[in-house]
Amino acid sequence: MTAFLPRVIYPVARSRVWHDRGILFLDALQSGNLAETIQSAHPGIMTMWLIGAARWVGLTWLPEQYNSNYFSQISLEIVPLTLVISLLIVLAYFLLSKLFNPTAALVATFLLALDPFHISISKTVHVDALMAVFLLISALFVLVFINQQESASKRPLFFSAVFAGLALLTKTPSLFIIPFLMLSLLVWQLDKVVWPGAVWPNRQQILQISKQIARTVLMWSIVLLVTFVVLNPALWADPVGTMRIMFTGTSKYFQTPHPYPLLFNGIFTENDPGLLFYPINMTLKSTAVVTIAFIAGLPVLFMRQINRSKRITLWLLFAFILFFSVQMTLAEKKGTRYVLPALQGIILFAGTGTTLMVQKMRPQHRKLSLGLLTMLVLVQAAISLPHHPYYGTHYNRLMGTPESILGSNLVAGQEQGEGLDMAAAYLNNLPNAKSTVVGVQISEAFAPHYNGTAITLTDESPDYLVFSRNWLVRNMQRENWQETWAAYKDRPPKYVVAFDDVTYVWVYKTGPVIDETSVEHWLPARLGSEIRLLGYAFEPKMVAPGDSVTLTLYWEAAQETAVDYTVFTHLLNEQGELLTQQDSQPQGGIYPTYIWDSGERVADTHTLIIPPDTPDGPATLAIGMYTLATLERLPIAHDPDLNIQDDRLLLPGPTITSGN
């Protein structure tokens, strides 16, 4: 439950690509068009199996709830993914118990279950976390196999191959398990032949070792291949085409940088960010506890007091971390989540290595050693769980505060679109949210949570704008939003989302700059203690009967108010008689006065239609506000320069002319 609950409660759903692919996968299965079940070179088959299963359950047993909105669909689809990941973390405990001891296994798996970065990636309907745990279990079964003392059972080898097949069905970087298997088998054979006598093997021994490794790898490969074929429907229908897609795509990922710019160490790049990208990002995404425990566990590699087989296992775990990191560094396309398998290795090494070190304390210090190990897990929980559900906002405090790390542009942050759901919730709570249009940068992370209309920033006339840190600092598609951001960044936002003193999301109310230079007729007038009418403008200046006048009022909140005031706009003839009027809340009810911030300025447009039988002559505008429930007008403060009658502000209006 420690692993499952943080991962399954409130999933992160920035990327909907695998949700969509899961739908296509299930449709292809149900229609019998098996060749279409390959949706990507990754290939993501296991992810799509799990999404497809969840979708089938949702459509069959919970159709109303499942189809209610996108977030409901993601919330169900994440359940089998997180369940599998959590169960495999439990399985890792049993395998580590065989390799080390139950205490070391318990500490290591608790550290993994509570790791904020691992939780963050696991909460996403994607392939990386699933591949990582499949790969981890496969590697641990390899280590269990070579550590067998008396039994020569092939069962661990069989299960290693099965999980390797599942990993490969999920994402192709798991091919790393093949060289890791060969390295582990080589160490296993050399340990039996060379190290007992410290004599280099002769030709016959080398041949014997080679045959043993070859036989083992062949058996293992057959099981992997069977697993890969049995669970990959596309191979049943089109084996050549499926393998071509996988091979071509994998080669592309290895040779082509990420299609979007990366921010690393203060530099924007669309190319390979360099050798330090993964070491620095892994350190940033580790916790302080894991970092310290990993360093503390390193001496165990050389401690002769530790059982030899345990030291060899730790060396192989260290090799897994090192060589997987090297493999991913060699690829041109880079992303922090791609190196999750190595981060898993670091966590397990930290937990097991530190436990073995602590367990070597004198017997009279047994309570102290148990206390230290318990504290290790509790501090990991204290670091991680307060970030729920936004675990991706965690950064290693040994590297600095999140404010200093992100403020220095060491990395971009907000990889999972954290905070956009909170911005959507804020906007959903505003009046008439369903009719409100919001311009947003990362639409795929915002739109699923928003009840109104979300559009790109290139579209015209949104009511609100939502900017995200990740896109701003990475200059993502900047041609679409650069000018808009420049116009709004110095204005006070309506709402911000911040984590650890770092702003992730800004929400702005759209509108022009309102000051004496931009307003055609500057007044200003004070209505009650809460509202100011700064000025007004209207078009056209001369209007024919039957046509309309567009009137824009420029308001300012002198202070915040809890009252929902109604604006009245009257057009009077020369005799002061009412020609036409429009009464409404500001901006047609979308932006009522009770959500205005103190000092906020609001442009409020009204349309007045001139009656067809109106005689020619100058017209006067009568402006004010009142409380709808009582019809009581806001009093307008006396000003000798203003024409005020009956708490109405009388202003020069258009000239009505029939053109005769």
- The total of other beta-carbon atoms located within 10 Å of residue 135's CB is 29
Residues 6+ apart with CB under 8 A from 122: 7, 81, 82, 85, 129
Residue 187 CA to residue 556 CA, distance in Å, equals 76
Q: Is the pLDDT of residue 149 over 70?
A: no
Helix (H/G/I), strand (E/B), else coil: 331: coil
Average pLDDT score, the chain = 89
Q: Give the per-residue pLDDT at 360.
A: 79
Q: Among 146-155, 484-493, 552-561, whose mean pLDDT is lowest?
A: 146-155
Q: Among 36-40, 410-414, 502-506, 624-628, whose mean pLDDT is lowest?
A: 36-40
Average confidence (pLDDT) over 336-351: 95
- The total of other beta-carbon atoms located within 10 Å of residue 612's CB is 10
Q: Among 61-65, 111-115, 254-258, 647-651, whose mean pLDDT is lowest?
A: 254-258
Of residues 238 and 520, more confidently modeled: 520
Q: Among 63-72, 105-114, 180-189, 344-353, whose mean pLDDT is lowest?
A: 63-72
With tokens 């604006």, the residue in question is: 567
* Highest-pLDDT range among 6-20, 55-69, 337-351: 337-351
Phi, psi of 442 (to 5 degrees): -95, 80
Q: What is the pLDDT of residues 623-660, one digit of tens each?
A: 999 999 999 999 999 888 899 999 999 999 999 998 65
Q: Give the per-residue pLDDT at 568.
A: 97
| Per-residue confidence band for 435, with pLDDT thresholds at 50, 70 and 90 | confident
| Per-residue confidence band for 508, with pLDDT thresholds at 50, 70 and 90 | very high
Instruction: Output the DSSP codes for 12-58.
Output: B-S--HHHHHHHHHHHHHHHT-GGGG---SSB-HHHHHHHHHHHHHH
Q: What is the reported pTM?
A: 0.86
**Percent of all residues in the chain with a pLDDT value above 90, rounded to a whole number:** 54
Extract the runs of DSSP E, i.e. beta strands, from 456-599: 464-468, 495-499, 502-509, 521-527, 531-539, 542-543, 548-557, 565-572, 578-584
Tokens of 622: 């009568």
Q: Give the per-residue pLDDT at 262.
A: 82
Average confidence (pLDDT) over 18-32: 85
Average confidence (pLDDT) over 213-218: 87
Q: Is the pLDDT of residue 193 over 70?
A: no
Q: Give the per-residue pLDDT at 625.
A: 97
Q: Give the per-residue pLDDT at 23.
A: 85
Residues 6+ apart with CB under 8 A from 8: 78, 79, 82, 83, 123
Q: Is the pLDDT of residue 434 over 90?
A: no
Q: Is the pLDDT of residue 603 over 80?
A: yes
Extract the runs of DSSP E, i.e. beta strands, from 266-343: 267-269
Q: Give the per-residue pLDDT at 255.
A: 64
Question: What is the phi-psi region of residue 432: left when phi exceeds 0, alpha when psi lies from -120 to 50, beta otherwise?
Answer: left
| Per-residue confidence band for 256, with pLDDT thresholds at 50, 70 and 90 | low
Q: Give the per-residue pLDDT at 253.
A: 67
Q: Give the per-residue pLDDT at 210.
A: 80
Q: Is the pLDDT of residue 207 over 60?
A: yes
Cis preceding-peptide flag for 592 (omega within 30 of 0): no
Alpha-carbon torsion angle 40, 44, 50, 53, nearest 10: 20
Q: Give the per-residue pLDDT at 188.
A: 82
Q: Is the pLDDT of residue 198 over 70?
A: no
Residue 16 CA to residue 39 CA, distance in Å, equals 14
| Per-residue confidence band for 252, with pLDDT thresholds at 50, 70 and 90 | low
Residue 558 CA to residue 390 CA, distance in Å, equals 37
| Per-residue confidence band for 610, with pLDDT thresholds at 50, 70 and 90 | very high
Q: Give the per-residue pLDDT at 383.
A: 95
Indicate the DSSP class of residue 580: E
Q: Give the per-residue pLDDT at 65.
A: 80
Q: Among 117-126, 186-195, 531-540, 641-650, whose mean pLDDT is lowest?
A: 186-195
Residues 6+ apart with CB under 8 A from 27: none
Residue 566 CA to residue 531 CA, distance in Å, equals 12
Q: Give the per-residue pLDDT at 116.
A: 96
Q: What is the pLDDT of residues 374-398, one digit of tens each?
A: 889 999 999 999 999 999 999 999 9
Domains and CATH numbers, the chain: 4-237+265-391 (no CATH), 420-509 (no CATH), 521-656 (2.60.40.770)
| Per-residue confidence band for 26, with pLDDT thresholds at 50, 70 and 90 | confident
Q: Is the pLDDT of residue 60 over 90?
A: no
Average confidence (pLDDT) over 542-558: 95
